Amino acid sequence: MSRTDRRPPGRGVEWEFDKVSFSREFSRNVVTKLLVDRAEHGGWELDRVRITADGTRRVVLRRKIIRAVRTA
């Protein structure tokens, strides 16, 4: 399951955030491969990982929002 958020600009950089959860049934290697795939193909980078008491991994990914500037 995934949820994408946008945070307001801070110091000139805007980030888009994506929250992903992995159940405890996924091994560490599988989670790593899935996150590497998202990083390579979607431009995401790892922001935060939390492992809950029940073993669920909650991952926050981020990527820069690049705004096109119109030239005259």
Q: What is the mean pLDDT of each run of 10 residues along the chain (72 residues)?
A: 58 87 96 96 95 96 86 79
Q: Would you say residue 37 lies in a domain?
A: yes
In the sheet that holds 14-22, the strands lie side by side as: 2-6, 14-22, 57-65, 45-51
- Please tell me the predicted confidence (pLDDT) of residue 7: 59
Q: Please give the tally of structural domains in the chain.
A: 1
Q: Would you say residue 71 lies in a domain?
A: no
- Please tell me the predicted confidence (pLDDT) of residue 8: 57
3-state secondary structure of 6: strand
- Please tell me the predicted confidence (pLDDT) of residue 23: 96
Q: Would you say residue 61 lies in a domain?
A: yes
- Please tell me the predicted confidence (pLDDT) of residue 5: 64
- Domain hosting 34: range is 2-65
